[in-house]
A and B are shown apart, each in its own frame.
Chain A
């Protein structure tokens, strides 16, 4: 397996595994558990897409749910209002088209929002993205054809295990390849030190906007998946709380570590379900869910701000082994 096509082989293996797993899962897992699994997949897409902005480029966005909302509304509206009576198109093709449309609309919104706001730094950027997220929500509430605050209902349930995790595999492929390339290094350099990055010719604004647009695209796709699984979407579903949930996944997983972030997304989506089943003195622990959640967040920041997985850096980790005698391996194949 050569280095050149390694990522493609991983992608292929991933996609085959997703398809392969789907059959036994569809057959044996009940619909309640399946819902949890799909929700985990959607959370993973959201978290990994925010990780591109937040973890890799260091731009703190608190409005990711806004992009999810745009994608969800675009895709769902297309399915229910426009393509509802389309004939001669397979359901799969239609779903692909509406998901892409949702992603692209969200990406355009990301571009429009990103260009002016990414000049801001730190908590100012956090606040302005929060503001944009809220504005998107309020605007959706006021568009009557899209159901106003009642939202869109009766969306056909097209989202499946294969769609969700297949898209996740593609996103992982993209973000891992990006990180090992010209663009990824530009992202990380921008995160580490913007002034230094500019001083070696990196157009930091361009890199930040690109990361923002890609992140918004996948948040939009995740929104489409969400809408076509829940069959009901309301502006309320995409509020500030949702944005914070996604941010917490990225932070808990350790900003910039794709695998850590995916793990955190799974954990944080599953945990509330697990807590729901535990009774303590007659009170369901799920009532305490958000109290525990917020306390955990505070304690995490105080004691382990680098996230649960810490500064796990596969490259550094691998580098430790290479030092012992075989440093040639990291060198390009010079004869």
Chain B
């Protein structure tokens, strides 16, 4: 039982990170109806932004602690947010109204561009780097074999705060209303006088910023970073979004937690080598049994 609880806590904290990344996928899908394949790589860039910020003389002089954490989170979120906006503007905007597959392939192109340009020796380099300490890791709670550390607390607090913030942003603000309208019908929203280009940029900014926050949380827990590290968390977060019902924000969050838990449980109870396979198996089952996901609504094709 104790071990199960431990696995569950580990799984949910990993899942919280997936959920943050999944939100970006689902928001972008909600508005533009396409899978931003490069989202996982934006996440990767987030860890490198954190890496370079942590290695500046100023941040190093602060040392690990709350100030450093605030700086590095802000930097990664703003940096990733801007990167998302730039990617959309340069690569996806020219393809508005083109077939979905054209955009999907472009997204794969953007993804490769970030991964392989990152590997160039004068960019990030192909070798893994060690992510510096943001805050010291302490044991917060220890009951028998059950251990909860400060990182897990930080992950939960940051992830849940950001999700609640996102909810407020979407439900209570003007731009949030515009975003909701756009995700119901982009064309109609534009006819109603909503600047849909601004809404799309905003969506990319917020979605990518959440990935940036996820990146720092991830790199704190798994401090080896490399230019290809975004692929798997990206795919898993995407699967979380599909599981929850792509386009559905609550679904993305719930899906993230389920995927994280399923992965950790499989690694703990069955075999660590199957931790990726289980996630893909979930994807295939959900797509075949209920492609609209747990919270999604099925649509009928108009003839």
A294-B113, A298-B113 are known contacts. Are A60 and B101 too (CB-CB below 8 A)? yes
Answer yes or no: A83 CB below 8 A from chain B CBs. Answer: no
Q: Which of A5-13, A17-25, A133-141, A269-277 contacts B (4 or more CB under 8 A)?
A: A133-141
CB-nearest residue of chain A to B106: A301
Question: Which residues of A119-160 have CB atoms within 8 Å of chain B's CB atoms?
Answer: 119-120, 122-124, 126-128, 130-132, 134-135, 138-139, 141-142
Provide the residues of chain B in CB contact with A138, threshold 8 Å: 273-274, 276-277, 280
Answer yes or no: B94 CB below 8 A from chain A CBs. Answer: yes
Q: Which of A26-34, A100-108, A220-228, A284-292 contacts B (4 or more CB under 8 A)?
A: A284-292
Answer yes or no: A200 CB below 8 A from chain B CBs. Answer: no
| Cβ contact within 8 Å between A291 and B120 | yes
For the A-B complex, the count of residue pairs with Cβ-Cβ distances under 8 Å equals 111
**Contact pick for A135, options B231, B273, B281, CB 8 Å:** B281
Interface string of B106-134 (1 = CB under 8 A from A): 10111111011101110000000000000
Provide the residues of chain A in CB contact with B105, threshold 8 Å: 247-248, 251, 297, 301
Answer yes or no: A244 CB below 8 A from chain B CBs. Answer: yes
A131-B283, A141-B273, A142-B273 are known contacts. Are A120 and B291 too (CB-CB below 8 A)? yes
**Contact pick for A124, options B102, B112, B281, B291, CB 8 Å:** B291
Interface string of A314-329 (1 = CB under 8 A from B): 0000000000000000
Interface centre among A123, A128, A298 (most CB of B within 10 A): A298
What class of interface size applies to chain B in its complex with A?
A: 35 or more
Nearest Cβ distance between residue B232 and chain A, in whole angstroms?
10
Question: Which residues of A209-238 have CB atoms within 8 Å of chain B's CB atoms?
Answer: none
Provide the residues of chain B in CB contact with A131, threshold 8 Å: 239, 280, 283-284, 287
**How far does the alpha carbon of A212 sit from the alpha carbon of B280 in the complex, in Å?**
21
Provide the residues of chain B in CB contact with A247, threshold 8 Å: 105
Interface of A is mostly: helix
Answer yes or no: B34 CB below 8 A from chain A CBs. Answer: yes
| Cβ contact within 8 Å between B120 and A288 | yes
Answer yes or no: B191 CB below 8 A from chain A CBs. Answer: no
**How far does the alpha carbon of A284 sit from the alpha carbon of B41 in the complex, in Å?**
25
CB-nearest residue of chain A to B246: A124
Provide the residues of chain B in CB contact with A124, threshold 8 Å: 287, 291
What class of interface size applies to chain A in its complex with B?
A: 35 or more
**How far does the alpha carbon of A142 sit from the alpha carbon of B99 in the complex, in Å?**
38
**How far does the alpha carbon of A135 sit from the alpha carbon of B239 in the complex, in Å?**
14
Answer yes or no: B174 CB below 8 A from chain A CBs. Answer: no
A290-B116, A297-B108 are known contacts. Are A302 and B94 too (CB-CB below 8 A)? yes
| Cβ contact within 8 Å between B104 and A302 | no
Nearest Cβ distance between residue B54 and chain A, in whole angstroms?
26
CB-nearest residue of chain A to B283: A131
Interface string of A188-211 (1 = CB under 8 A from B): 000000010000000000000000
**How far does the alpha carbon of A139 sit from the alpha carbon of B277 in the complex, in Å?**
8
Nearest Cβ distance between residue A191 and chain B, in whole angstroms?
12
Nearest Cβ distance between residue A120 and chain B, in whole angstroms?
6
| Cβ contact within 8 Å between B280 and A301 | no
Provide the residues of chain A in CB contact with B140, threshold 8 Å: none
**How far does the alpha carbon of A290 sit from the alpha carbon of B281 in the complex, in Å?**
30
Answer yes or no: A117 CB below 8 A from chain B CBs. Answer: yes
**How far does the alpha carbon of A298 sit from the alpha carbon of B110 in the complex, in Å?**
7
Answer yes or no: B271 CB below 8 A from chain A CBs. Answer: yes
CB-nearest residue of chain B to A247: B105
Answer yes or no: A293 CB below 8 A from chain B CBs. Answer: yes
**How far does the alpha carbon of A247 sit from the alpha carbon of B280 in the complex, in Å?**
21
Nearest Cβ distance between residue B72 and chain A, in whole angstroms?
28
Provide the residues of chain A in CB contact with B112, threshold 8 Å: 244, 290, 293-294, 297
**How far does the alpha carbon of A293 sit from the alpha carbon of B109 in the complex, in Å?**
8
Answer yes or no: B100 CB below 8 A from chain A CBs. Answer: yes
Provide the residues of chain B in CB contact with A305, threshold 8 Å: 98-99, 102
Query: Which 9 A-B residue pairs are closest in the complex by CB-CB distance?
Result: A290-B116, A297-B109, A294-B112, A294-B113, A298-B109, A138-B277, A301-B106, A131-B280, A131-B283
> Could you tell me which B residues sit within 8 Å of A by CB distance?
34-35, 91, 94-95, 98-106, 108-113, 115-117, 119-121, 231, 235, 238-239, 242, 271, 273-274, 276-277, 280-281, 283-284, 287-288, 291, 301, 303
